[in-house]
Structure 1
């Protein structure tokens, strides 16, 4: 298909990174359109994602595809290039399982690490316990492989991309260290491999930029809480 490809995203979005890296892995040129969220949603976004009104959205000709993992699977099926999911049906189902696991289990801990109330030790302990248990499950999935899918980046790696850059950011802001070489050597090695891959590196924001963005988010939320 030769139709023009656009990605609606916003700076620093974990989910917005996913379609970008998938397109780059496939060698598909695209136009990145950054939304000013949450207050200034464009008509383009509201038109093409009228249900959730969120990024990312992939625009491919007259088609619009929403939800980041759904977009990655669409890219894999619609374009040529290296496959992002295995050919074997069982392995494909397994990859989808772990991609969904990452979305379901890591979104909450990421945001708790940003919003966690200072001094709330019980909440902090629950967060650390949950996050470490889930990281351990992912650690075991690598089983000595370079990437979750083997020798090249696939669906699960793209789903887990938040661990390769955003988790470091949230650790710095919250002062909590989760992904250590001692506790999760395979995941730490994987994170460096992922962030060093040319296709991923080209669309990963720097940690400094992310720290600035999410520190501002944390300060805004803290101020809003004080004003209640």
Structure 2
């Protein structure tokens, strides 16, 4: 028989019932409740409320576990969310400016040469930070296939619409990502450079790449 019960200090009414859960989860909930000065009943209720909201929005709770594991790593890097269009616009402006300088015969040769080097360095910066992010993420996801599976399951929370992972062989993986409409060649180039640096931390390299509009296909090959 259900019995109404209200957590002290709140106005929300709870219905008392019995739910079977694994012993280790019950122990974790009990420790969390005690550390926060709450009842186990309240903490469990809040957890179930969150789970219900996720399921109503089309998520599986296990998907968000992957997201949380990634978030814990990335939060240590002072990550600031910003529109992908902003990154693409800034990058496109810089590349077009450098290309114009490099091709302008009215500009001294040393300046043109430096502009050409700066253009190459721009992609190297994306690759460098991909390498750094990869080093941090590998502390949480040791295996690249596990990481890619996590990314495919939480793609709706990232700057992509869809992610597909296909294993081509024991040492090759195909990654296909569909980004937001209106993606530019510059944005695809920046993303590919980032991926190149990232997968190097897992001893993989980009064997081939193909970008058409907002669809990016990359084949990753394990280094011999």
Q: TM-score range by the shorter chain?
A: 0.3 to 0.5
Structure number with higher relative contact order (C-alpha < 8 Å, ≥ 6 residues apart) = 1
TM-score in terms of structure 1 length = 0.32
Larger Rg belongs to: 2
* Higher percent of residues as strand: 2
